[in-house]
């Protein structure tokens, strides 16, 4: 019998679910295209009369609404799992912002010219 590995063979459950949700989000546009193009294949019972336009239009808008809801739910779940994984850093104080702007404009310290002004 081979020795048991020290690390688990499977991903933790949360990571696995997050990756499957990302896969589903990547697949959603392909599924959407197939569902939206499906009414093109509809025809009457004897294949000679075309499908009804009202039924096709209603179908397209219902599918469109369901795709919007599915995308919103998936993005919300992905954002929640990202928030749990990577907490938001502390807020930047207004003084830090002002000092950051000075450095961006080539100034260092209290109004001293930086290296980019030719002095």
What's the rounded Cα separation, in Å, for the pair 108 and 113?
7
The pLDDT tens digits of the residues spanning 38-82 come to 888 886 666 666 667 888 889 999 999 999 999 999 999 888 877
The model's pTM: 0.55
CB atoms within 10 A of CB 78: 15
Task: Give the pLDDT confidence score for residue 106 in this predicted structure.
Answer: 58
Instruction: Please state the domain extents for the chain.
Output: 10-87
Residues 108 and 114 sit within 8 Å (Cβ to Cβ) = yes
The sign of the dihedral angle between the CA atoms of 42, 44, 49, 53 is: negative
Q: Each residue of 29-44: pLDDT tens digit?
A: 999 999 999 888 886 6
- Distance between CA atoms of 70 and 106, rounded to whole angstroms? 47
């Amino acid at each position: 019998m081979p020795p048991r590995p020290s690390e688990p063979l499977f991903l933790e459950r949360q990571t696995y679910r997050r990756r499957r949700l990302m896969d589903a989000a990547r697949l959603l546009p392909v599924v959407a295209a197939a569902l939206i193009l499906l009414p093109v294949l509809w025809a009457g019972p004897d294949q000679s009369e075309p499908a009804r336009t009202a039924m096709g239009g209603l179908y397209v808008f219902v599918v469109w609404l369901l795709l919007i809801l599915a995308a919103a739910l998936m993005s919300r779940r992905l954002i929640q799992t990202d928030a749990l994984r990577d907490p938001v850093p502390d807020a930047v104080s207004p003084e830090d912002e002002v000092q950051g702007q000075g450095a961006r404009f080539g100034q260092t310290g209290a109004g001293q010219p930086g290296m980019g002004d030719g002095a």
